[in-house]
Amino acid sequence: MPDQIDAASLTVNGFQRLIRDRYFTTDAARGTPATFMWFVEELGELATALQNNGPGKTPSPEERANLEEEFADVIAWLVTLANINGVDLARALSKYTTPGRVEGVKA
């Protein structure tokens, strides 16, 4: 079993590297179309979890834990897509960290 990683100190680069190191061979063989379908499936599971935790609802501890798990799964599959398509997510995220590059908000 691999050593436990301190999630609080994990960077975007670090997480992308972790996913690449663990899964790249399998992910690359699966390819973008099939990986995208897994990503979409996880988005659907996140949508369901969000409904179970929505306004006016009191989610059970299990439902709350499932919500967190689904967020993690969506991020992991997004990182997988970035890896197999050669996208450096930290660099891509500079769109939001560079002042003046994105202005305004969507309503």
Q: Give the largest Cα separation in the chain, rounded.
A: 45
Domain range 32-88, CATH architecture: Orthogonal Bundle (1.10)
CB 13 within 8 A of CB 94: no
Task: Quote the tokens at residue 79.
Answer: 């990182």
Question: Phi and psi for 10 in degrees, rounded to 5?
Answer: -75, 130
Q: How far apart are CA 102 and CA 107, in angstroms?
A: 15
Instruction: For residue 49, count other CB atoms closer than 10 A to its CB.
Output: 21
Task: Quote the tokens at residue 24.
Answer: 């790249």
- Tens of pLDDT along the chain (107 residues) come to 456 778 778 999 999 999 999 999 999 999 999 999 999 999 999 999 999 888 888 889 999 999 999 999 999 999 999 999 999 999 999 998 888 877 777 77
pTM, two decimals, is 0.85
